[in-house]
Structure 1
Amino acid sequence: MMKRFVLVIIMMISALGLSSFKNTSTNDNDEVKTSYASYYHDKFNGRKTASGEVFSNSKLTAAHRTLPFGTKVKVTNLRNGESVVVTINDRGPFHASRALDLSKAAFDEIGSLHRGTMPVEYQIVEG
């Protein structure tokens, strides 16, 4: 009786384990996410980004922890509805409450540099 019980448990675990490997992912390109964005300090101008590009605060670029380099992302300031499209060229931000670090040009286009962060909605527009 005990062997049968153990066998049933093993079979259930196996079945559940295999089902977790099914491709259940959806297309993240259509997914709109919300978070906070900050902007780069001027001290990063001229330094290499994780993608190898030289950083410039005057370009419309951004850092994200996982999106592929070159991905175009539409970022919308939730306070005023203004949007900008940026290209991911760096890794970061390394702060749990923020999803994006924007260049100053991108941040200034949709918000005020007097604030260090802004609530944003972002979506991949070209991967």
Structure 2
Amino acid sequence: MSQRDRLARFSRRVLIAAFALIGCHSEESVEHGKGSAAATKPGSNEVGEASWYGPGFQGNETASGETFDQNKMTAAHPTLPMGTTAEVTNLENDKKVEVRINDRGPYEGNRVIDLSREAASRLDMVDDGTSRVRIEAQPQPRTDCGGTSR
């Protein structure tokens, strides 16, 4: 085997190892509206204003391609990957819900998440329309470059 072939094989192994390490994430906390506009990542926390959406969007297609159902435990978030599960805590009454991200938004003000009507109802925030919340995004199963779980 020539020197060039050995170097090519070594380079491929280094690249494969580098790609295998991509996607690792650390715990971090993001306070919405303070400092940078860092994106929330699975495995991190974010605090900010939540709103809810429902009747006017019922039956519309979400960013994930699903049909929106205001009676399901779903939410819209600007950066979390589709399908991410997040625990949302209403900081005004300590009520918690678990939602699945299936849409993009919110698009108004400094809000961090748009909850379905059902999720907002369980957090007792439907009447007020908004509430200060903490979002704890659950880490997704890691996959290697071939797409299989580790």
- By the TM > 0.5 criterion, same fold? yes
Whether 1:37 and 2:50 are equivalent positions in the alignment is: yes
Aligned to 1:112: 125
- Any conservation in 1 of the 2:58–2:69 contact (CA below 8 Å)? yes
Whether 1:74 and 2:90 are equivalent positions in the alignment is: no
Of all paired residues, the percent bearing the same amino acid is: 41
* TM norm structure 2: 0.65
Q: Which runs of 4+ in 1 moved over 4 A?
A: none
Q: Distance in 1 between matches of 2:64 and 2:54?
A: 18
Greater fraction helix: 1
Count matched residues: 105
Q: Distance in 1 between matches of 2:105 and 2:67?
A: 16
Whether 1:26 and 2:26 are equivalent positions in the alignment is: yes
- Any conservation in 1 of the 2:42–2:137 contact (CA below 8 Å)? yes
Superposition pairs for residues 74-113 of structure 1, below 5 Å?
A: 74-113=87-126
Larger RCO (alpha carbons 8 Å, 6+ apart): 1
Q: How far off is 1:35 after superposition?
A: 0.5
Q: Distance in 1 between matches of 2:93 and 2:69?
A: 25
Spell out, residue by residue over 1:62-81, the C-alpha distance to the aligned partner (whole angstroms, 9 max, x if none): 00011110000000000010
- Any conservation in 2 of the 1:73–1:126 contact (CA below 8 Å)? no
Spell out, residue by residue over 1:18-55, the C-alpha distance to the aligned partner (whole angstroms, 9 max, x if none): xxxxxxx6344442210111110301000100100000
Q: How far off is 1:126 after superposition?
A: 4.2
Q: Which runs of 5+ in 1 are unaligned?
A: 1-24
Q: In terms of Rg, which structure is larger?
A: 1
